[in-house]
Amino acid sequence: MKKVIYQVDAFSDVPFGGNPAGVVPNAMGLNETQMLNIAREMNLSETAFIFPMKDDMADYEVRFFTPTQEVDLCGHATIASFFALASKGIITGTNNVEIIKQKTKAGILPVELYFKGGKIDSVMMTQAKPKFVFNVQNIPELAQIMGISVNDIGIEGYSLIPEAVSTGLTDIMLPVKSLSALKSINPNYAKLTEYSNNLNIIGVHAFTLETEDEASTLACRNFGPAAGIDEEAATGTSNGALGAYLTKNNVLKFEDNITITCEQGYYMNRPSKIIVRLEGSTDDLTVKVGGKAFIVMEKFTSEI
């Protein structure tokens, strides 16, 4: 039995941007040991294994493996998986939206596939309802850990303070005043790991309203050493939480829906664009996150 494996850069429309994931489009016949071995061999943060289903509950079962273990869900690997299925003609559409249900260990979740001219354009996934966990009380401590001045924190014209927010995973939203402040962030990773563990958060998501690309809404950097990633090139859950934070604090002119584009990974040579769509009302907000992807490699396993 041989299996095809794609390496897909999620949240990017160019090769070697975004956040890479492995995708096995037809994992039928693979057991857990084999999936873990493939994920270990790919050596990416996650590899997704897709099982076509034939019932009314879901269209596909998707299982996600890091090089060391299975995890319940992975946002960028979800985007990569369904972009790959559509790119290879396994899922088709014209100029419409196809809604696919994926069965995961986190539940059955809808995924929206947007087509233009018969080709896949972007993939969006719904996240958990936003939770505003706590405000940061000791801002000088956070500034010191992140290697910036207290005066760098905030956004001109708004009364913003750092706050822990979750749409599935909890990060501290850290507003900074400029791109130069964003670039200058240089965390003490040991202290940030201890800080994150003490507060039971994944890490810190820093952002500014200044951008490198004029088409972007804001620029971000994400730091999660407590989760084993000093800096991440593209983070779906963090940017979803950021959209909720901006809505709550009236930074976004939100009525019943708005779409923003977050740029990330620019200072890691992995430029990423994460689309965040906010729908509903400020009291009952639905957060969707997604973007484009690019298949950079196609591999085959040996007989297993």
pLDDT, greater one: 237 or 172? 172
Q: Yes or no: say if 67 and 75 are a contact pair by the CB < 8 Å rule.
A: no
Q: Are residues 221 and 262 in the same domain?
A: yes
Q: What is the mean pLDDT of residues 103-110?
A: 88
pLDDT tens readout for residues 212-254:
999 999 999 999 999 888 999 999 889 999 999 999 999 988 7
Contact 219, 179 (CB under 8 A): yes
CATH number, residue 252: 3.10.310.10
Residues 140 and 284 in one domain: yes
For the entire predicted model, the pTM comes to: 0.88
Which residue range(s) make up the domain with 256? 131-289
Burial per residue of 203-224, b for 16 or more beta-carbon CB atoms within 10 angstroms, e otherwise: bbbbbbbbbeeeebbbbbbbbb
| Residues marked as catalytic | 46
- 176 and 67 in one domain? no
* pLDDT value at 184 more than 90: yes
Give yes or no: residues 40 and 147 share one domain.
no
Strands (DSSP E) found in 30-142: 47-52, 60-65, 70-71, 97-104, 107-116, 119-126, 131-135
Structure tokens at 183: 């670039």
Note whether 238 and 267 are same-domain residues: yes
- pLDDT score, position 7: 97
Based on the domain organization, do 118 and 137 belong to the same domain? no
Residue 2 has pLDDT above 70, yes or no: yes
Percent of the chain with pLDDT over 70: 99
